[in-house]
């Protein structure tokens, strides 16, 4: 049985891709495949700067939904694009927020939500 002529280029391309992946020892990491299927972002795939900005979330990173990981990464990227004086201002506000009581934090979150609606 012979292969139709129009399928030969595709068969050659697939065979070449298979040989390249085997030659490179490209055994896919099952954990990375699992995360990719779920749309999650592996911690190791973040840049060093993103990892530094998100450091306090590293321990639980794999437990966050892919949507939350993406939002956090986007926030880190926005933070990293800020000029140094704006970064210091953000850090100062974060420290002030962390020093608030739980009731004050709740009040601020509610005010923020009302302002966004």
The token pair that represents 73 in the structure block: 């990464």
Question: Looking at residue 7, what DSSP letter applies?
Answer: G
pLDDT at 110 over 50: yes
Q: What is the tens place of the pLDDT at every residue in 48-100?
A: 999 999 999 999 998 999 899 999 999 999 999 999 999 999 999 989 999 99
Q: What is the pLDDT of residue 38?
A: 63
pTM: 0.58
CA-CA-CA-CA torsion sign (109, 52, 56, 77): positive
Domain ranges of the chain: 33-81, 83-117
DSSP state of 84: H
CB contact at 8 A, 74 and 67: no
d(CA 43, CA 29): 14
């Amino acid at each position: 049985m012979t292969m139709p002529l129009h399928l030969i280029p595709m068969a050659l391309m697939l065979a070449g891709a298979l040989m390249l992946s085997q030659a490179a020892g490209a055994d896919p990491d099952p954990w990375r495949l699992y995360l990719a299927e779920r749309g999650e972002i592996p911690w190791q795939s973040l840049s060093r700067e993103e990892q530094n900005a998100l450091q306090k979330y590293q321990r639980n990173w794999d437990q966050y939904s892919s949507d939350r990981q993406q939002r956090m990464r986007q926030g880190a990227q926005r933070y990293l694009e800020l000029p140094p004086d704006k970064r210091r201002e953000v850090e100062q506000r974060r420290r002030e927020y962390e020093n608030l009581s739980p009731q004050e934090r709740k009040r601020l979150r509610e005010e923020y939500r009302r302002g966004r609606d």
